[in-house]
Amino acid sequence: MATRHLNQIELAARWNISPRTLERWRWAGEGPQFIKLGGRVVYRLEDVEAFEAEQIRQATPNVPRAMA
């Protein structure tokens, strides 16, 4: 079976975020793994799904708020 790839626009639409957010995440070393072929960036669907699975949380951690 052929590997399915998403470009930056398709992934941004999937997650309802700005394509610039994906660019910032790549620059910061965050977000899903990506492949750069020449000047073209693509994301393997299996890497996107693995990243999504890693983001599943049961609850928000209890972080103390700064005193006002």
Q: Please write the tens of the pLDDT for every residue from 9-41.
A: 999 999 999 999 999 999 999 999 999 989 999
Nearest to 40 by CA among 64, 10, 3: 10
Question: What pLDDT, on the 0 to 100 scale, is given for residue 58?
Answer: 81
pTM over 0.75: yes
| Domain spans in the chain, listed from the N-terminal domain onward | 5-54
45 or 66, which is more confident: 45
26 Cβ contact partners less than 8 Å away, ≥ 6 residues apart:
34, 41
